[in-house]
Structure formats: structure tokens, C-alpha cells
Amino acid sequence: MHDNRHVVFFRQQGGDENWRAWRVNLQTDDVRPLTPGPGVTCFVQQISRHFPSELLIGHNERDKRFFDIYRVDVATGESALVEANDGFTGYFTDQRFNVRYAVRHAENGDVERLERKDGGDWNVFVSIGADDAMATRPIEFSDDGRELYWLDSRGRDTAAVVAQDLESGAMQVLAEDPRADFTNLLLDPVTQHPIAAAATFERTRWQVLDTDYKEDFEYLMRRSPGDLAITSMSQDRRNWIVAYLHDNAPLEYFHYDCDAQQARRLFSSIPALEDAPLVTMEPTLIRSRDGLELVCYLSRPRTARPGTRLPMALLVHGGPWTRDVWGLHPNHQWLANRGYAVLSVNYRGSTGFGKAFVNAANMEWAGKMHDDLIDAVDWAITVGIADPARVAIMGTSYGGYSALVGVTFTPEKFACAVDLVGISNLVTFLNTIPDYWMPWKSVWKVRMGDYTTEAGKRFLEERSPLNYANRIVRPLLIGQGVNDVRVKASESEQIVAAMRQHGIPVTYVSYPDEGHGLGRPENRCSFAAVAEAFLAAHLGGRREPVGNDFKDATIEFRVGRELVGRFHDSNHKLSETVRPEKWHAKPVCRDFRNAVVRIGFMESVV
């Protein structure tokens, strides 16, 4: 907080995503809750230097569908209702804690922004079409209230930085990039005027908007080959905390003295990995069959010999409306260390590459979105990187859905698949989404398929892996958090049941204390150990002895434990009985999996 006395943090229980806000007093160690619980989730709506010990919080105690806005005194824990929400997706507030705009999703996918003048009714003042809705949003008001700053794709393909004069309504473009959306805006800590903006195509690029800071950014860009991030700035602008993202080293933090134009290294985020045998992440452009440019990232084992085809893991990011970026990727490091080439693909629908690229994915789940993944695999085979008989597809959430699509829509393309909390049936998924997703459910209607009509439901069924479970001929590993509120455990259970009905083997593990992904490090390590044994059995890569990777994990083998090796029930350790190691160029790095996977195995992104 701006009072330098309190830290606000959030907790959930067992992956239920009912986040409760708490605060700790750094001087007295007093800890107290700021929002109600259980069964309530919340988020920070606004913080401001004008109210150092207060913030705006949204939570859904009154109605699980909608988030009311409360003003919370962090010191005392007291809160007061600011805005009762009876039908909006959310609100947009300013530095004075005024509720300025309401946000509503229309049935056609448009995003309406409404204002209320003189305490009257809410009226639409701008409607952002569905084509622009993914990339266009307001960021912040200037502190004097005269301007509103947007990331805005209206009238162009990629999101530009735009300043709107609130008196005249005039819009001024401050920065734009023809290849990538601007996605990060650095604002002055006092005036809230834009200082610089960042866009990411293959790597992150900063554009300075305030010339007073030109020399500072020039120095910082020279200081390290990593991608620059500005994490904080003192109110007098003289002291900054910056970080550099690397692909083969941990994140590094620096203190930057603006007066002296000198940066002093503070620490790395993961000291244990500073001397680890990490690999690079190569940005690679791959052309889809219909001409789209796919930004991909490739990692290879340090011991790979030139001209030798490798077993490969295709990692599919979640969302799907997010993207893969260059940096220290836990799964790239772990799998490359085991002898696999690793390929991450920004398939159509990934964000950050302009609205045409996002909109090209509309109604293309298990269609052209999957074609992009196949095209990327074919590229890796054509250029001699991947062994066509030893390619796995794996991912979390939408990535898990893609893994299921891989073994049902293209059943002989992949040697095996790993699905963590993936959707198996698009209709049952939409019928069980959380209550607080309902205000923006129309997004799925536009992007995935029209669940309101019989024809639309038939289309969604046609794009659902569950209905083609009888086609599966490759080994499949499924992982699921029992408490998942986004992709219910029934999504995994119904495809496991369908496979067993057809006599098709499958390995299914679940975690009773997890939700959408794996949060506890012990559980991440246990699933990584199982996945590593699974991949070694079907792709021939290396595996690390399990050791203590099952210690304190809550993993439950529901089906198919025998398919990935023997387990000792007494100590939950995996026996070393899969196939002999194939990659002898370098010994397995002991405890490497544990160190890397604890960063975040198969990260969940929706």
C-alpha cells in the first residue's frame, strides 16, 4: 500500500478461486481479513496515492453473479459499499475513487461502456464492437481528470496507445506498431501521464512517449540483453525498480538511480537456477497453411547433435485468449533437459498480434486453430528438428482441450498426449461455468459457438473431443483438480468413462485440493514425475529418479496407474521400471525437475 505500512495479499482454499483479501501490518505483524468468506471471491478495483491506506475492492457476497464495489480501510478492515452491481460485467474507477463507467457485454459480443450523469440512469456512451473488444480497453485517467488513456484497436488492426480529451472527445494516437498490440503502459506515478509503452511481437519493445525519459530507457536497454520490465517508480521519479527477463537465466532485479543513470543489481528471482544448465528459447516464425504468421518459440536440448531428429513436445498455451512469450519457461527447461525439442505456438486466437489474428479463431475451435498446431509440427519435421514418430501434444485448460483434440481429430499425428484440466465437451463446459462468468458469457457465443440455438449446439458437439473418444489410439495422460470451478472435474471424468467404455486405456490422476491447474509445489512435482515417466515410455526421452517428488502430494490415481510404471503405496514413490535412458550425452541433472517445475508446471491461463 502507499502508506508503506500494510501489504495486501489473497488466499483461496483448495483451488476454489474464492479469493479472500487479507492485510498484514508490517510494524505489528497484525493480520486481518478485508473481505468476507467463504464462498466469496474478490479483486482489487483501484489503489491511489491520494488514499494511502485505502483501496477499492470488488466482491460478490451479495449476488454471486455480480461484483459490488467497496471502499476498504486497510488499517481497520472496515468497508463501505460504493456501488451495488445489479447487472454489469464491471466498473471503471478513477484515482479519486469515483465510479466513472459501467461495463456491459451485449448479446452480440459488443462491449458497452456506460456513464451516469448527475446521479441519473446509466447510458451507453460508447459501444466497442466484438471485433475490437479483445484489444480495446481504457487504462487510466490522468490525475487531473482531463484525459483518459486507452489501448485501442478501433480504426486499425493492432492496439495503439491513445489519449482521449474528455472535454472535446478528441482522440490522439501516441504510439502504434503495425505487427503487435501495445499491451503495457507505464504511467507517471503522480500525474498518471504516459511515460512509455511496450509491445511484444517476438520480444518486448518499449517506445518512449515522454522525451524526458528517453536517455533513461536508452541506458536501461543497453544494460542487459534481457527484456526490460519496469516494476515500480518512486513518486519523485528518481528511484526505479526494474527487472530483466531472460530465457536461460532467472529474472534479475535492479535498482535504477535516475539522477546518476546507473542500475545496481539487487538479486535474481530464483538463485538456485543461476548456474543450472538452462537452454535458450528461439523465436521462430512459421507460416500457417492459409498464410498467417505464427510466432513460435523453440527450445532444444544442450546435448542435441546437429542433424539429429529429436523427440518433441508441442506445448499449447491456455486461454485461448492469451499468448506465449519469450522468457524462462519452466516446461521448456524441464523437457529440453530430458532430451526433447520443445515448441510453443501462438496459434490464431492468441492475443497481442492484432485483432485480425484474434478474430481468425472465431468458430475455429478444433478447426483452423488446431490446423495451426499441425502446421507448426509439420514445419519442425520438415526442417529436420522433430522425429515424426515421437511428438507429444500437451497443455493446460484450452491447451488440455487441444491435447484431446489432437488424439481425437488427428488420432495418429501424435505419439501421446498430456491433458491437464482440459475441456472434453464444449456444451457441458458452457453449462457449468461459474456464476460470475455469466455477465460475459456472450464472448463464448461469438468466439466458440452459439450455445443458444440448436444448430449452434450441434456445432459445439461436433467440435467436442468427447464425441470422438472411440478414435483414440495413442496413450493419454489426464490430470484434474477436483475443485476446478472453470473446467469442472466432470470434463475429465466423462472422457475417461467414454474411453473405458470403448476398452481404450488411459491414465487419470486427480488432486482433491486443487482447482484449475496445480497450485501446491508438491502437487506440481508429483504430476511432473508422472508426466516425465509417461513421456519417457512413449517418446524415449530421459527421466529423473522420482526421489521425494511424491512427498506430501495429494495425487490420486483414478485409472491406469500401471501404464506409467509401478508405485509403492507405502511411500508414494515411483519405481524406476520404465525403459532405460536413451540420452547418454550428459547425466540427468538431479533435482532439476524439482527446481524448475516449482516455478509453475503447465501454467493455467484462461
* Helices and strands, counts by H and E, the chain: 12, 33
Question: Cα angle vertex 279, ends 565, 369, to 5°?
Answer: 75
The active-site residue, picked from 153, 299, 344, 397, is: 397
Per-residue 3-state assignment (H helix, E strand, C coil) for 254-313: EEEECCCCEEEEEEECCHHHCCCCCCCCEEEEEECCCCCEEEEEEECCCCCCCCCCEEEE
**Active-site annotation holds for 53:** no
Would you tell me how many other CB atoms lie within 10 Å of the CB of residue 211? Answer: 7
d(CA 188, CA 234): 10
Where does residue 596 rank: exposed (0-12), middle (13-18), buried (19+ CB within 10 A)?
A: buried
Reported as half-sphere exposure (CB side, CA atoms, 13 A), residue 275 has a value of 0
Strand partners, 345: 296
Tell which residue, 170, 529, 178, 174, has the closest CA to residue 338.
Answer: 529
d(CA 49, CA 47): 7
d(CA 10, CA 14): 13
Alpha carbon 424 to its chain's center: 20
Question: Cα angle vertex 513, ends 422, 437, to 5°?
Answer: 50
Tell which residue, 111, 73, 114, has the closest CA to residue 92.
Answer: 114
Which residues are CB-contacts of 98 (< 8 A; sequence separation ≥ 6)? Answer: none
531-568 exposure pattern, b = at least 16 Cβ within 10 A, e = fewer: bbbbbbbbbbbbbbebeebbeebbbebebbbebbbebe
Q: Do the Cβ atoms of 376 and 345 come closer than 8 Å? A: yes
**Active-site annotation holds for 370:** no
**What is the rounded end-to-end Cα distance, in angstroms, of the chain?**
28
Q: What is the bridge-based pairing of β-strands 160-165 and 99-105? A: unpaired
**Active-site annotation holds for 575:** no
Quick one: which H or E segment has residue 603? none
CA dihedral 37, 41, 45, 48 (to 10 degrees): 40
The active-site residue, picked from 131, 516, 526, 549, is: 516
Is the bond preceding 320 in cis, omega lying within 30 degrees of 0? Answer: yes
37-62 exposure pattern, b = at least 16 Cβ within 10 A, e = fewer: beebbbeebbbbeebbbbbbbbbbee
The active-site residue, picked from 131, 324, 484, 549, is: 484
3-class state of residue 568 by DSSP:
strand
d(CA 391, CA 341): 9
501-526 exposure pattern, b = at least 16 Cβ within 10 A, e = fewer: eeebebbbbbbebbbbbbbbbbbbbb
What 5-10 contacts at long range (C-beta under 8 Å, 24+ apart), as own/partner pairs, is 5/53, 5/75, 6/53, 6/74, 6/75, 8/34, 8/44, 8/55, 8/74, 10/42
d(CA 201, CA 156): 17
Q: Do the Cβ atoms of 252 and 265 come closer than 8 Å? A: yes
d(CA 583, CA 586): 7
Catalytic residues: 397, 484, 516
